[in-house]
Amino acid sequence: MSTSSLSFSSKELQDLALAWVALGVAFAIFFAGGGQRAVSGILQGGIVGPILLSLLTAGMGFLLHEVAHKVVAVRFDQIAEFRADYGMLFLAVVSALAGFIFAAPGAVHHRGRLTRREHGLIALAGPATNAILAFIFVPVFVVGVLLSSEFLALVGSRGLTINLFLATFNMIPFGPLDGKTVLGWSKVAFVAFFVPSVLLTIGAFVSGFGF
């Protein structure tokens, strides 16, 4: 049973907020097509809408992914805090300007003794949160369609697609990604999560849903 309580230091809250805003800006530029033309288009058409859309979809997906890692780590009596990688956040914005996106906003660092199962569950928490968010965005899309709200429908469809992608990408069993840790803990858990995520993500991208 955990004896730790969930808390956030001022530095951690600052890093989470900075990462969220930077990713919101980066993805707004990326979805507008990247480059100077994208920036000009956003400025001419209004900057609030595109950035708000990215904050609610991509930004929220990244933010809650990291918070989920922390929550489960603390549940297992770990000392855990998120730290933003300022260099990678800068790269996210620059890559968006170049027409592609590379986002690695930072990571939750934790210390303490863990079993393989606990380590695997901490890793799985992030992608699992993205999968849950993807399903949450479904009714948002439906409501947007029913209300004829283009913005709300786009929030729902883009939120669904981005979070499916984040769940799948982070479960790739390579390098520092969560999938390698999950696979090392349980092949059954890895396959049960990864295969459906891949199929749903491919379906979303092939259909062009959210773009």
In the set 66, 81, 118, 150, the catalytic residue is: 66
Could you confirm whether 66 is annotated as catalytic? yes
**Rounded to 5 degrees, what angle do the CA atoms 159, 89, 93 make?**
75
Residue 130 in contact with residue 163, Cβ under 8 Å?
yes
Alpha helices in the chain (DSSP H): 10-31, 35-45, 48-54, 60-75, 86-97, 116-146, 150-170, 178-185, 187-207
Q: Which DSSP state fits 102? A: -
**Contacts (Cβ under 8 Å, ≥6 apart) of 79:** 4, 110, 111, 112
Q: Which DSSP state fits 188? A: H
Tell me the catalytic residues. 66
